[in-house]
Structure 1
Amino acid sequence: MREMVQQIGEVVIAELRAAGYMESTIGQYQKSIKALSVLAEPGGGVYTVSLGKVFAAMTTSPRTGRFSAQRRFDFCRLVRLFDSYMATGQVDLATQKRGGGGAWPGSEELAALARSWAAEMVQRGLAAATRDAYGRVARAYLVFLESRGLSCLSEADGASVLAFLASLRARWAVSSLPWLISNFRPFLKFTGRTDLVDALALAGVRRHHTILPVLDDQDLEAVVRACGSQQVRARDAAITLLAVTTGLRACDLVSLRLVDVDWRTQTIAIVQQKTHNPLTVPLAPLVASRLADYILDERPASADDHVFLRVKAPHTRLGDHAAIHRVTANIFAKAGVADVKAGSRLLRHNAASRLLRAGVAVPTISAVLGHASPESTNIYLSVDHDRLLECVLPVPAGARS
């Protein structure tokens, strides 16, 4: 049976309304459906997957004659919904993550190696974000090998590792290369090729531990004051306050579920996404108050049991750490704090440094932050100026002249 553009469009619009999409968003979909209907007219108004590909490729604005990112976004998202309906009879409104996971090698042997690495990471119990980062770099290397005419790993040598890293320098910041190598090394170890692992050391990339930034008292007070006001969403205030007071990672904030909150004891108990270790943190009165405001008055009705949901439909869990960064950046802007990068990493460092300056023992801070190893907390010693000054030796009298 042939499916008509107009008929599928009616189903899509009905599903969007049922899911609670804003009328302004639905209006944008309707405009795209109208444009797709015009394209389908020569074929009798019938929709096909090939027609969808042509429509999605129409990224040039007829008004300006230039590429339009908005046009590409609108047309591609409509085609995705139409294609899901054609394939399953259902309109798939699930949100799509950015990036798409990166390219996969075409060679069967290299593709099989990538799949084996993915299965191995699951077997090891690595967090989803970690698997994504490790897998993306591994597949990029395998695709690079293919570009050099290699179809299996046995044909690669240490020089291929160095050439791969060199190819990335044009697209990656130098400061990001240590992170990339740390994500690349586990895959090379998995292959059992010690020569490839040794080649990483020849790249000469070293990680530099800089002094971590923290909020001064005035900025912290402004952020907390903004979170306690009615100028910001209760959801955004609760997320920011949790990060400020507990130092929870962004991945744990995204994964937080309603059952993790114990209102009787005013605590949150989770299993950390990164370390898989259990962690219980207290809820300060203001945090508990704003979290309750969100859950009782602001949180959309949804079958999703994650605490923090998307404001716009579909009302599902937040996508990733980028969503947390947008929330905290918005709070910082409203608080008038503009000289720092308002990410969960900064807030995590800030929580640790304040505990340290309050005289809390490093092992205790390590437990509060949920570090797998107490040694991970040592980096926060760099912000404890008073203790660092105690380590400074006096300048010899003869050197002053």
Structure 2
Amino acid sequence: MSIANLPAIRACRPAWNKGRIVGQKRPLLPKHVWAIRVRLEISGNARDLALFNLAIDSKLRGCDLVRLKVADVYAAGQVKQRASIIQSKTRKPVRFEIAEGTRNSLGSWLDDPMMIGSQHLWPGRFHDRPHISTRQYSRLVRDWVTSIGLEASAYGTHSMRRTKVAQIYRKTGNLRAVQLLLGHTKMDSTVRYLGVELEDALAIAEAVEL
């Protein structure tokens, strides 16, 4: 056999996910949320604090969160208590609450000189980017979780989306409420998203006495 006919030998590359935690990202626990908030408040980072708080409250996908406009959350000279947007993935509307603490942090951010004349809630730094990218948002989430000693690979932008609904489900067991808050069209999607198992269902059933 001539050398020309020999099979090519390719360098063995390590798997892209070697050493990484893949799959569904963990939601933050309440103690994690407060730890990150305190750090952002101490640092005086108005934008990141507002972004973090609204990410938790809105439960939006990263692609929808970064595209929010000021008018989506602000009207009549104040931050709204509830807001509604059309999801880019499903083209269906979803509503979300804006808690008092989040409204305060948004108010501080909207008063920042960087927000003068901006239509987008999270303006980009370059003229060709009207708002921050999902990649930038992902990097911010990584910085937030590592700042309190969490493993970055275990968390992501979907951690922010899952954090509040995970607590709602844990306290109420109400899957329908979680489905509405996440804007899912199918209950199966909500079940998979929360990672609901038979043990969860049995625990809820055992808590109900008839």
Partner of 2:96, secondary structure, is strand
8 A contact 1:212–1:382 mirrored in 2: no
> What are the ranges of 5 or more consecutive residues in structure 2 without an aligned counterpart?
1-12, 205-210
Equivalent pair of 2:84/2:93 in contact (CA under 8 Å): yes
Match of 1:259 in 2: 71
Decide which moves more: 237-246 or 273-282: 237-246
Q: 8 Å contact 2:122–2:131 — kept in the other structure? A: yes
Distance 2:131 2:47 in 1: 11
Name the residue aligned to 1:288: 103
The residue identity in structure 2 corresponding to 1:306 is: H
For residue 321 of structure 1, report the CA deviation from its aligned partner.
1.2
The answer to whether the aligner puts 1:338 opposite 2:153 as a matched pair is no
C-alpha separation in 2, matches of 1:210 and 1:389: 25
- The answer to whether the 8 A contact 1:212-1:380 is kept is no
1:90-129 mapped onto 2 (5 Å cutoff): none
Write the letter of the residue equivalent to 2:50: A
CA contact 1:362–1:377 (8 Å) conserved in 2: yes
Deviations 1:203-243 (A, max 9, x none): xxxxxx9565232333222123234x141421111111122
* Pair 1:390 & 2:166 matched: no
8 A contact 2:162–2:194 mirrored in 1: no
Shift of 1:352: 2.1
Matched, 1:307 2:100: no
Query: Which residue pairs with 1:234 in the alignment?
Result: 46
Matching of residues 119-158 of structure 1 within 5 Å: none
1:317, CA displacement in angstroms?
Answer: 2.8
Residue of 314, 329, 334 corresponding to 2:142: 329
TM-score w.r.t. length of structure 2:
0.73
Larger radius of gyration: 1
Q: CA deviation at 1:355?
A: 1.3
Letter in 2 for 1:261: V
Q: Pick from 26, 32, 37 the counterpart of residue 213 of structure 1.
A: 26
Distance 1:173 1:328, change over 3 A: closer
- 2:207 is aligned to none
Change (3 A) 1:305 1:274: same
**1:360 deviation in Å?**
5.0
> Which of 345, 348, 362 lines up with 2:175 in the alignment?
362
**What residue in structure 2 maps to residue 375 of structure 1?**
188
Distance 2:151 2:14 in 1: 27
Greater length-normalized contact order (CA 8 Å, ≥ 6 residues apart): 2
Query: Which structure 1 residue ranges, 5 or more long, are not aligned?
Result: 1-169, 176-208, 392-401
Q: Indicate whether 1:320 and 2:111 are aligned.
A: no
CA distance change for structure 1 residues 221 and 301 in 2, over 3 Å: closer, same or farther?
Answer: closer
Check conservation: 1:355, 1:365, Cα contact below 8 A: yes
1:378: Cα distance to partner? Answer: 0.3
Residue 291 (structure 1) shift:
0.9
| 1:12-71 CA distance string (max 9 Å, x none) | xxxxxxxxxxxxxxxxxxxxxxxxxxxxxxxxxxxxxxxxxxxxxxxxxxxxxxxxxxxx
Contact 1:244–1:347 (8 Å) recurs in 2? yes
Q: What is the aligned-residue identity percentage?
A: 22
Structure 1 residues 210 and 172: CA distance shift in structure 2, 3 A? closer
Partner of 2:4: none
1:276 corresponds to which of 77, 91, 108:
91
Partner of 2:6: none
Q: Which amino acid aligns with 1:241?
A: N
C-alpha deviation, 1:252, in angstroms: 0.8
| Aligned amino acid, residue 216 of structure 1 | L
Alpha carbons of 1:362 and 1:239: their partners in 2 closer, same or farther (altered >3 Å)? same
Mapped partners of 1:243, 1:218: distance in 2: 16
**Residues 291-312 of structure 1: per-residue CA shift (max 9 Å, x gap):** 111111243434x5111112x4
Answer whether contact 1:356 1:384 (CA < 8 A) is retained. no
Q: Deviations over 1:228-281 (max 9, x none)?
A: x14142111111112222311111111101111144641222111111111121
Aligned residue in 1 for 2:166: 353
TM-score scaled to structure 1, two decimals? Answer: 0.41
Q: 1:385 to 1:369 in 2, by over 3 A?
A: same
Q: Measured at CA, do residues 270 and 323 of structure 1 come closer, stay the same or move farther in structure 2, by a change above 3 Å?
A: same
CA, structure 1 residues 267+299, in 2 after alignment: closer, same or farther (shift >3 Å)?
farther
Shift of 1:386: 6.8
Q: Partners in 1 of 2:50 and 2:186 — Cα distance?
A: 28
Q: How does 1:45-124 map to 2 (within 5 A)?
A: none
